[in-house]
Structure 1
Amino acid sequence: MFTENRRLRDELRTTHARIAALEAERNDYLRKDRRAGVLTLDAFREAAAAALRGSQRRGEPAALVLVDIDGFRALNGRRGAAVGDEALATVALRLRELVRGGDVVGRTGADEFAVVMPGANLAGARGVAERLVAVLEQSGPVTVSAGIAVDGGTGQLDGLMADASAILERARIAGGGRVGAPGRQPSVEPSRGAIGALALALAERDRGTGEHAEQVVALAGAVARRMNLDGEEVERIAAAALLHDIGKVAVPDSILNKPGALNDEEWAVMREHSIVGERILRAVPGLGPVARMVRHGHESWDGSGYPDGLAGEAIPLGSRIVLACDAYDAMTSERPYRPAMAPPEAVAELVAGAGGQFDPRVVEALVGYLEDRTPLEYAARTPA
């Protein structure tokens, strides 16, 4: 009898333990946002408030980082909810990789995340935010803006959220893809002047390259609008089109102006220009997304391009648009080593390359735009 009672007690303990584990698992499941895998708003507020009280008791600093996905509503509308969900998951994953074990991460809005960092000062919080912005710029396809607030000893979550939100809004107004912090006021669109200066430098370096860039800008902007991209993305693509050859400032004149075909060594130097272009543009605040488009401006839809051999949707859409428009303008322009093609002939080349070198959707949009142009405009590009 004693043995039987002990067995029953053991079974009862095991059952209770299983129930407790299942209950804990259920509670954890309910506290996590299903799309992002971080705490829900209510769970975040509870955990963040506790973390702030702990920092206050210990006399430690604390910081809050608020992160917003740039252009999330347009991304959802343009590419669907599944792509929006993927963007949320990507940002949450990168954020979890960057924060410390004791930091509290939650989804606080449709396209917004927050991190409470107990024991962290402004420099520590800024480091996390800037690394997140840089990682997402380099990996794509989304970029984020961030705002930072530092606890002054009150331990009040709502006050920190309000301060970080105001700073985040200034970062968004300034063009997105950047970090705002206390005492740091980002100026509105600081990259516009830099874009003009770089374009002028390119034109001075090689007048033909500068004129070609202007033609590509007009085509790329028209194609982007025809593909129903939002205004902000059209501007970024136009900037990438204008500066897609900026890396050629580092190419020697003997290669850049060679009248004949390049040899293998010369091609190796020429192919570096997209990487050089990316480095130049990344030095300009706010031009990270444009720099990424420029780096991948010679990637092919089928993966045969350079410098990274990306394929399909892994290539930034702006890069795919600029590539096709660049190719069309190059084919219909005179070169020292060949005459210009007639527009219909160049269009045939684009169509033949769809699915290989070019994104078929981009080719369709570009050809549609060209065919909609007036006969006079079309004839103007036709060699006599």
Structure 2
Amino acid sequence: MTKFKTLISNTAGHTAKSRLIFLVSFIFLLLICMISVSTVWYLSMEQKEEEALRMTEVAKAGFSEADLRKLDYNKSDLLKREYIEVKEGLQQIVAASEDIRFAYIFAMRDDRLYFAADSEPESAENYSPPGQEYTEAGAEDKQPFYDGKPIILKSKDRWGTWISVLSPMRDSVTGELIAVFGVDYTETAWYRQAMRNTIQAGVIAASLLFVFLSLSYVFRSNFLIRREQSKHFETNSKLHENERSFSLLLSNLPGMAYRCKYDVHWTMLFVSEGCLDLTGYSASSLVNNRDVTYSDIISPRFRDVLWEKWIHVIEEKGKLAEEYEIITASGEARWVFEQGQAIFESDGSVSALEGLIIDITDRKRKEDEIQYLNNHDFLTGIYNRRFLELMKVRMDRGDFLPLSVIIGDINGVKLVNDALGHAEGDKLIIETAKIIQKCTRENDIAARTGGDEFTILLPFTDKETASDRMSLIREECERYNRKLFNEAYSLNISLGFATKEKAEENLDNTIKLAEDFMYKRKLLEHKSSHSVILSSIKATMHEKSHETQEHAERLTYLAKEIGRKLKLTQLQMDELELVAMLHDIGKVGVDDRILNKPGKLNDEEWVEMKKHSEIGYRIAMSSPDLVAVADFILYLHERWDGRGYPQGIAGEEIPLLSRIVSVVDAYDAMTENRPYRKAMSEEEASAEIRRNAGIQFDPKIVKVFLDKVLNVKYG
């Protein structure tokens, strides 16, 4: 206790006046530190909110308005490509950020909130299927639907306590509010950076208080030395201990504290031990420019800029706060933040510069990542619609004329998605983006502006050059297609262009002309593209499965014979032929291992096999020429007794054409050799068909087939 009192006395002074001055100074500095720490907390939270809102806007831009409008907000969305793309986008957002726990989109119907999609896997406990009502939504959750503004709120539901960032999603043309996009942060993730910054600020504040106390102690000790020569040894011991504590404080400060001359080399007079961690050079290497000058460490592109900043700060007698890049001893580039000031002599000349330099590389890297996500498409890596809109505003000036626009739309992506899976559709989009990027020049701006749509801005480009550039894209697509073994994976893109030649012309009108040009080409190319893709899909189906073109032709013959006996119309006969030829086209989406397994399928394999009916349905729905037979393909494996798949309908609920093809398909399959069994005789197959009449097959069609068709064929 006696030593503590002596320490306080030596720090604050022995007289009432010195103690009062010390106390007022300490309280004043303490208040400044508390205000600074509070300000850091406030600014950190403000920055976090701005980053969260900015990230939400960036992520929101990656979703197609057209996809959202096609959702019905019920479980029927699960089969839709648009829902799958939205779902994958939400999952990618959560995967890209360790702070985000949930991402979701919901809409309001009759003042109630319903989920369109969320980022959780379907097997997850917290998964919300499309159309599920968000029953725990409060008035604040609905606020974006009322005022159309983004909101940040703290909410608590059955999943926990969250910080939610909700942002309205509007139609870019009409301004209509379509839905609300939201992300949820856990409380820990939300406040983490603010807590770190506040702790750092607290450490710095405590360090300043410690420095103040240390300096007070030093000054008072020196005063006592001069006043009491008899205590010289004791005072020196205390001073030495104080200096040791001060050095310890400097060694634990973040970054590098320094004192240097005011010259172009920034000749260091003192640097703290943090110099080694920050620059890779020891403190002694920099002091008096022994091995290297600090100017050498500063990245060349920032040296003159920083020097000019210091000149301005000294002229204004202010403080420097600047970010710049340094090159460490290992050659690594690092971003640093320097805060410093000049120390002036009584005559106004600069005696030294003092300050603190800290490493901000991680923060700059995150800012760059956010900026990249803000401007680029997450799938292809080229620019996104948001960046294109910014560049449209920038280039819509006379000094960029002539300004040409190329619009491109990939043909057949939906058909490839439905037949071969979204991964293959994504490959088409990615490869097309690579070709477009390859065909653009340095000043051109190529962006993905929709699911399968691209836009290119070409400044200083006349009509002839734009046409040549468009032809180059077509040639590159053809060159890519010639290397493929399967035409189902070929690139076919419809292109159109237009040119703004005068400043008074409206750029949006130019884009509209390019779109009209593209859509005319699409009408001409669409049917041919679909035909090529469908033919390739059929060929792929025959390659993957044990069923052949001859099998499809036999089915067509037998089915049409039944159709004639039933006196079907010509339209029904034509549709029956299509169904027979394409009855198993959905198998193109089933794993080869399952299709060609020599033994019996297990339960898990049967689940996958049964999906081919729905895959075939989606393929047919993707082609205008096959829409009429899509339902017949879907119900081919339904049974008369209702125990079939995919929907378990029974009797005459099953379409007539589906019932006909299911009989002849079963008969032909039984009379042909398969990897897992030998063919039955025609008599055995006929008996098997008759046994299953009224169970698996329509008994009337079985009777016509056995008694009339087979008798005609074999009688």
- TM (norm. structure 2) is 0.25
More helix by share: 1
Q: Which structure is larger by alpha-carbon Rg, 1 or 2? A: 2
TM-score, structure 1 normalization = 0.46
